[in-house]
Amino acid sequence: MSGKDSKYNLIKLLIAPFLLTLMFGLMFFSARGDSNIVDEIAHIPAGYSYLTTGDYRLNPEHPPIIKDLAVIPLLFMNVNFPYDYWASNNSGETVNNQWLMGWRFIYESGNNPDAMILATRIPIMLLSLIAGFIVYRWAKKLYGQSAAYFALFLYVLDANIIAHSRFVTTDLGITAALTLHLYLLWKFIRSPRWNGLIFAGLSFGFVMVAKFSAAILVPIYGLIFLYAVIKNINQEKSPDKFFNNFSSGKWQKRFWGYFSSFAMIVVIGIFLTWVVYAFHVINMPVQVQHDLITEAIPYSEDTKGILGILHKMTDNPILRPMGHYLLGFTMVASHVNGGHDAFLAGQSSNQGWWYYYPVAFLIKTPIPTMIFMVLAVVLWKKFKTKDFFDQYYLLVPPLVLLALGMQGSLNLGIRYMLPVYPFIFISVAKLVNIINFKALGKLTKKSLPAIGFTLLLVWYALSNFFIYPSYLSYFNEFIGGPKNGYKWLIDSNVDWGQDVKRLSAWADKEDIDKIYVDVFPGPMPAKYYMGDKMIEWHVQDFENQWPEGYLAVSETFFQNSRLKTKQGVEKIDYSILDGYKPVAQIGYSILIYKLPAK
- As a whole number of angstroms, the distance between CA 379 and CA 391 comes to 14
- Domain residue limits at 580: 491-595
Q: What is the pLDDT of residue 438?
A: 76
Same domain, 500 and 471: no
pLDDT band at 269 (very low <50, low <70, confident <90, very high): very high
Residue 177: inside a domain, yes or no?
yes
pLDDT exceeds 70 at position 496: yes
Higher pLDDT, 567 or 17: 17
335 falls within a domain: no
Per-residue pLDDT, 145: 95
Residue type, 581: K
**Residues forming a β-bridge with 517:** 536, 552
DSSP designation for 214: G
Co-location of 400 and 499 in the same domain: no
Question: What's the confidence (pLDDT) of residue 358?
Answer: 96
Are 84 and 195 found together in one domain? Answer: no
**pLDDT number for residue 581:** 95
**H or E segment to which residue 509 belongs:** helix 500-509
Average pLDDT, the chain: 93
The answer to whether residue 111 sits within a structural domain is: yes
The residues facing 536 across adjacent strands are 517
Same domain, 186 and 115: no
For residue 244, the model assigns a pLDDT of 84
pLDDT at 8: 67
The span from the CA of 270 to the CA of 442, in Å, is 58
Q: Are residues 530 and 466 in the same domain?
A: no
Same domain, 209 and 268: yes
Same domain, 498 and 467: no
Q: pLDDT at position 10, please?
A: 78
Mean pLDDT confidence for 509-522:
94
Asked, for residue 340, whether it belongs to a domain, the answer is no
Residues 17, 112: one domain? Answer: yes
**Is it the case that residue 1 has pLDDT exceeding 60?**
no
pLDDT band at 4 (very low <50, low <70, confident <90, very high): low
Asked if residue 509 belongs to a domain, the reply is: yes
Of 56-70, 338-352, 426-440, the least confident: 338-352
Q: Has residue 5 got a pLDDT over 70?
A: no
The number of angstroms, rounded, from the C-alpha of 292 to the middle of its chain's C-alpha atoms is 26
279 and 379 housed in the same domain: no
Which of 251, 269, 284 marks a domain boundary?
A: 284
| Residue at which a domain ends, from 217, 249, 284 | 284
Q: What total number of domains does the chain contain?
A: 4
pLDDT value of residue 360:
97
Residue 507 lies in a domain: yes
398 upstream amide cis, omega within 30 of 0: no
218 pLDDT above the threshold of 90: yes
Does the pLDDT at position 421 exceed 80? yes
Of 211, 204, 131, nearest to 170 by C-alpha is 211
Helix segments in 32-112, DSSP class H? 38-53, 65-71, 83-87, 89-92, 98-107
- Give the pLDDT of residue 234: 66
pLDDT at position 238, please?
76
Contact between 501 and 35 under an 8 Å Cβ cutoff? The reply is: yes
User: Would 321 be classed as within a structural domain?
Assistant: no
Q: What is the tens place of the pLDDT at every residue in 67-76? A: 999 999 999 9
Mean local confidence (pLDDT), 455-483: 97
CB 241 within 8 A of CB 193: no
3-state secondary structure 239-308: CCHHHHHHHCCCHHHHHHHHHHHHHHHHHHHHHHHHHHHHHHCCCCCHHHHHHHHHHHCCCCCCCHHHHH
**Residue (of 151, 132, 178) closest to 17 by Cα position:** 132
Residues 502 and 394 placed together within one structural domain of the fold: no
What's the pLDDT at 483?
A: 96
pLDDT of 366 above 70: yes
Residue 130, domain member (yes or no) = yes
Q: Is 515 helix (H, G, I), strand (E, B) or coil?
A: strand
Q: Which pLDDT band, with edges at 50, 70 and 90, does 454 fall under?
A: very high
Q: Structure pTM?
A: 0.94
Give Cβ neighbours of residue 508 (< 8 Å, ≥ 6 apart). Answer: none
What is the per-residue pLDDT across 317-327, written as a single tens digit (0 to 9) for each?
A: 999 999 999 99
**What mean pLDDT do residues 192-196 have?**
94
DSSP letters for 304-326: HHHHHHHHHHHHSTTTHHHHHHH
pLDDT in tens, 146-160: 999 999 999 999 999
For 97-146, the pLDDT digits (tens) are: 999 999 999 999 999 999 999 999 999 999 999 999 999 999 999 999 99
- Please tell me whether residues 527 and 466 are part of one structural domain: no
pLDDT of residue 236: 66
What are 374-384's pLDDT values in tens digits?
999 998 888 87
What span, in angstroms and rounded, lies between the C-alpha atoms of 36 and 500? 8
pLDDT bucket at 549, cuts 50 / 70 / 90? very high
pLDDT band at 593 (very low <50, low <70, confident <90, very high): very high
Transcribe 525-553 into DSSP letters.
HHHHHHGGGEEE--GGGGGT----EEEEE
In the listed set 251, 268, 284, which residue is the last one of a domain according to the structure?
284
Instruction: Say whether both 409 and 501 belong to one domain.
Output: no
Residues 108, 85: contact at Cβ < 8 Å? no
Strand-pairing partners, residue 590, are 554, 586
- d(CA 43, CA 49) in angstroms, rounded, equals 10
Ramachandran area for residue 58 (φ above 0: left; ψ -120 to 50: alpha; else beta): beta
